[in-house]
Amino acid sequence: MTHPLRLGIAGLGTVGVGVVSIIRRKTALLSARAGRPITISAVSARSRNKDRGVSLDGYAWEDDPVALARRDDVDVFVELMGGSDGPAKAATEAALAAGKDVVTANKAMLAIHGHTLAERAEAEGRVIRFEAAIAGGIPVVKALSEGLAGNSVTRVMGVMNGVCNYILTRMESAGLPYAEVFGEADRLGYLEADPTLDVGGIDAGHKLALLAAVAFGVRVGFDDVELEGIDRISVEDIGQARDLGYRIKLLGVAQMTARGLEQRMSPCLVPAGSPLGQLEGATNMTVLEGDAAGQIVLRGAGAGQGPTASAVMADVIDIARGCRIPVFGQPAATLKRAQPAKSVAPAAYYLRMALQDRPGALARIATVLGEAGVSIDRMRQYGHDTPTAPVLIITHETTRDALDRALDGLGRTGVLENDPVAIRIENV
C-alpha cells in the first residue's frame, strides 16, 4: 500500500476539531482522492483534558507544538492555533527546519511574516499552504494561483470577514443591538481569539494583503492596507443606508495601478440589489478580475468549523497528491516589493453627523463642504427630540483627499457634536 501522509495537528479549537472530524469520518474518500491514506500521528493544544466532542484515540499528545512539529512520524504540520507570533510562528519555523510541509489557517501570521516564511520554506524545499486563511470555505487561493495562473490580475475585491458581515446583516434583519449579535457570532465560532481583529477590519486586511500578494506577484504588504473597521457603524447608519437602497459591507479592494498597489479595506455602502449587497450572515464573496478570464465571482461560507476545515483538507490533499506550488504562487525571490498607492478613484460618500440645532449651523456645514470642493447630492435633517439635529448628506463623487479636507473643516466649525461618520458608496 502507498505510504500514508501523516499529519501533526496543533490547535484543537473550532477549526482543528473540524479537521479531525473530517479525517475520522471520511477515511476511505480521502484516501481515494489523495491516492494514499491521510492519517493523524499526533495532536497538540493547551489543555489535554478538555472534552472536544471528537475522539482523539490513537493520536499521540504533545503539550508543546514545537515538539509536535519536529516529530519523526509527522510529514505535514497543520497549524491551527492562531496568533501572528508566539507558538504558531515558532512551531511553523520548527516544522520547516525539520523538513515538514505546513498547512495553516493563520492569516495573521502570514500577513506579517509570510514573505520570510515563504523564503524559509523554499530554502528547505517545503511548501506552506493557506487556503483556509482567506474567505473560509471559498477556494480563492487555488482559483488565483492555479485557475487564473495565465492571467494578469487587474483587481481583487470582496467581503472577507464573516463576523463583520454577520453582525451587519443581523443588526439589520433582526433589529438586534450590536452586543447581542456579537454574542451570537461568538457562539457560532466565527470570532478570532481577539475579536478586535474582526471588527477593527484587521483580519479582513490580513486576508486582502495575502490575496494581493498572490494576485499581483508582490510581497505581502499588510502595513500598506488602508484600514477601517465596522466599530463606528450604528443601527442608525444601517437603517439610513437601507432607506437609500444600500447595505453596508466591509469591502476590500486591491488593484495595481500605474502609481502602485492600492489596498483598501473599509465599510462601504453597496447597492442592496447587487451580489455584494445581497450577502447574508457569515457569507463571503471574492471577486477576481483577470485580463483574459474577465470577472470571476466566488461566494460561500467565510468562517466556521466545516467550511474552514474543508479548506484545510484541500491543502492537505494537494500535498498528498504531490502538488507543490510556491507559497504565493511564484518563487519568493521573484515577488516584487509593491509601491503602495493611496486610492484616488472618486466616489460618492454618505455623511452622518449630529449638528447643534441653532440658526446657521446647517449653512455652515454646506459652506465647509463647498470650500473643500465637495458637492452635495442629497441632504436631509431628520426628526429628532434631542438638542442635536441628525443630518444626513450624500455627496456627489469626490476624491478622498477632498473629503478629508472637508472632514477637517467640519471638525473646526464648532457646530458638530461629534466626528461625522463618513462611508464610501461603491456602486459595484
Q: Return d(Cα 109, Cα 206) in angstroms, integer.
A: 9
Q: Which one of 207, 249, 336, 342 is the catalytic residue?
A: 207
Contact between residue 2 and residue 36 where contact means Cβ atoms under 8 Å apart: yes
In the bound state with ligand HSE, the residue whose beta carbon lies nearer, of 37 and 158, is: 158
Q: Applying CB under 6 A, does 190 fall inside the site for ligand NAP? A: yes
- Smallest gap from Cβ 166 to ligand HSE, in A, equals 7
44 binds, among ligand NAP, ligand HSE, none (CB under 5 to 8 A by kind): ligand NAP
16 binds, among ligand NAP, ligand HSE, none (CB under 5 to 8 A by kind): ligand NAP
Q: Applying CB under 6 A, does 65 fall inside the site for ligand NAP? A: yes
161 binds, among ligand NAP, ligand HSE, none (CB under 5 to 8 A by kind): ligand HSE
In the bound state with ligand HSE, the residue whose beta carbon lies nearer, of 106 and 395, is: 106
Q: Which of residues 113-132 bind ligand NAP (CB under 6 A)?
A: 132
Q: Write down the residue that cell numbers 452635495 correspond to.
A: 376
Beta bridge partners of residue 293, listed in sequence order: none
Q: Total binding residues for ligand NAP by CB under 6 A?
A: 30
193 binds, among ligand HSE, ligand NAP, none (CB under 5 to 8 A by kind): ligand NAP
300 binds, among ligand NAP, ligand HSE, none (CB under 5 to 8 A by kind): none
The CB-nearest residue to ligand NAP is 13
- Smallest gap from Cβ 103 to ligand NAP, in A, equals 11
Helices (H) and strands (E) in the chain, counts: 14, 16
Q: Which residues of 184-193 are buried (b: 16+ CB within 10 A; e: fewer)?
A: ebeebbbbbe
Question: Which residues contact ligand HSE by CB under 6 A?
Answer: 136, 161-163, 190-192, 198, 203, 302-303
- Smallest gap from Cβ 150 to ligand HSE, in A, equals 28
DSSP string, 35-103: TS-EEEEEEE-S-TT---SS--TT-EE-S-HHHHHH-TT-SEEEE-S--SSHHHHHHHHHHHHTT-EEE
Q: Applying CB under 6 A, does 186 fall inside the site for ligand NAP? A: no
14 binds, among ligand HSE, ligand NAP, none (CB under 5 to 8 A by kind): ligand NAP
Q: Applying CB under 6 A, does 81 fall inside the site for ligand NAP? A: yes
Is 142 a residue of the active site? no
In the bound state with ligand NAP, the residue whose beta carbon lies nearer, of 164 and 425, is: 164
Q: Return d(Cα 109, Cα 336) in angstroms, integer.
A: 20
Q: Give the other-Cβ count within 10 Å of 359's Cβ.
A: 6
Q: Applying CB under 6 A, does 300 fall inside the site for ligand NAP? A: no
45 binds, among ligand NAP, ligand HSE, none (CB under 5 to 8 A by kind): ligand NAP
Q: Applying CB under 6 A, does 196 fall inside the site for ligand NAP? A: no
Q: Applying CB under 6 A, does 303 fall inside the site for ligand NAP? A: yes
Q: Applying CB under 6 A, does 338 fall inside the site for ligand NAP? A: no
Three-class SS state of 257: strand
Q: Applying CB under 6 A, does 74 fall inside the site for ligand NAP? A: no
Pick from 262, 244, 10: nearest CA to 157 = 262
Beta bridge partners of residue 251, listed in sequence order: 266
- Give the distance from CA 74 to its chain's centroid: 30
Q: Applying CB under 6 A, does 222 fall inside the site for ligand NAP? A: no
**DSSP strand pairing (101-104 vs 38-44):** unpaired
Q: Return d(Cα 13, Cα 328) in angstroms, integer.
A: 27
Q: Applying CB under 6 A, does 290 fall inside the site for ligand NAP? A: no
- Smallest gap from Cβ 204 to ligand HSE, in A, equals 7
Q: Return d(Cα 286, Cα 301) in angstroms, integer.
A: 11
DSSP string, 175-216: ---HHHHHHHHHHTT-S-SSTHHHHTSHHHHHHHHHHHHHHH
Q: Return d(Cα 184, Cα 389) in angstroms, integer.
A: 33
Specify the amino acid at residue 121. Answer: A
Applying CB under 6 A, the residues found at the interface with ligand NAP are 10-16, 44-47, 50, 65, 80-82, 87, 105-107, 132-133, 136, 189-190, 192-193, 303-304, 308
Q: Which residues are catalytic?
A: 207
